[in-house]
Amino acid sequence: MRTIIAIDGPAASGKSTVAHELAARLFYAHVNSGAFYRAFTWWVLRAKADPTSVEEAAAVLERTKLSSRFEGNEGILLLDDVDPTPHVRDDAVTHAVSFIARMLPVREALTTHLRSLAEERDLVMEGRDIGSFVFPDTPYKFYIDASPEVRRARRQAQGHHDEIATRDRIDSSRAYAPLTIAEDAHMIDSTHLTIDGVVGEVIGLLKLLGLSMPAR
Ligand code: DC
């Protein structure tokens, strides 16, 4: 088992940019677990199954070969060997992903694949339940938040039409592995911070926690 840095937080909190930058600075691989949920959502939509029906989604899951691997520095999920990356940000996927992400069979299958990536590489993994559920034993857990206004503005600046408040509500209230703040996570409010500021804070805390840094 390698070193895992868990970065959790709500939609548009800045965690993806921070996780990406942190992975680059530490020479770790980067895994965006939200992209795994988006990938499977795209696959369900592509199969013309109903993304709100657990029976239909489970039937798609059953007949699909899932595999996870690294493409360069990025952990990805393949579906019957198809790379879903070009489609994971589609509006239809964004709209349906919270429904798919609350289904127990989907969460179990994807959690297994997320965990398997840690057998090969040191990871910065971002998501909603990474510190609380996927890797509860890692000592390196961060929860990044920002005010709803700033999160909405960041999403719009990226050109996405995203009902983040609705998604947050569904993600936080679902029965299995909801968006929660792990008790031992370090909270960072990014509302008034730049990305560099957040990354600097995370690196400072990692040093205090005793993580060895790559030589410059
Ligand atoms: O990070 P994101 O917005 O791309 O995530 C897409 C969706 O996936 C989000 O609505 C919640 C879900 N998700 C999850 O349930 N668990 C994770 N570890 C990561 C994402």
Tens place of pLDDT per residue across the chain (216 aa): 699 999 999 988 999 999 999 999 999 999 999 999 999 999 999 999 999 999 999 999 999 999 999 999 999 999 999 999 999 999 999 999 999 999 999 999 999 999 999 999 999 999 999 999 999 999 999 999 999 888 888 888 877 766 787 888 888 888 887 777 888 999 999 999 999 999 999 999 999 999 998 886
pLDDT of amino acid 216? 65
pLDDT of amino acid 129? 94
User: Who contacts 29 (Cβ-Cβ below 8 Å, separation ≥6)?
Assistant: 23, 70, 73, 74, 75, 117, 121, 122, 123, 124
88 ligand 1 Cβ < 6 A: no
Q: pTM here?
A: 0.93
Give me 49's structure tokens.
């199954």
pLDDT of amino acid 99? 95
98 ligand 1 Cβ < 6 A: yes
> Distance, CA 208 to ligand 1 centroid (Å)?
29
Beta-sheet pairing, 123-127 with 29-32: parallel
pLDDT of amino acid 112? 97
> Distance, CA 4 to ligand 1 centroid (Å)?
18
Rg, Å, the chain Cα set: 17
> Distance, CA 127 to ligand 1 centroid (Å)?
6
> Distance, CA 171 to ligand 1 centroid (Å)?
8
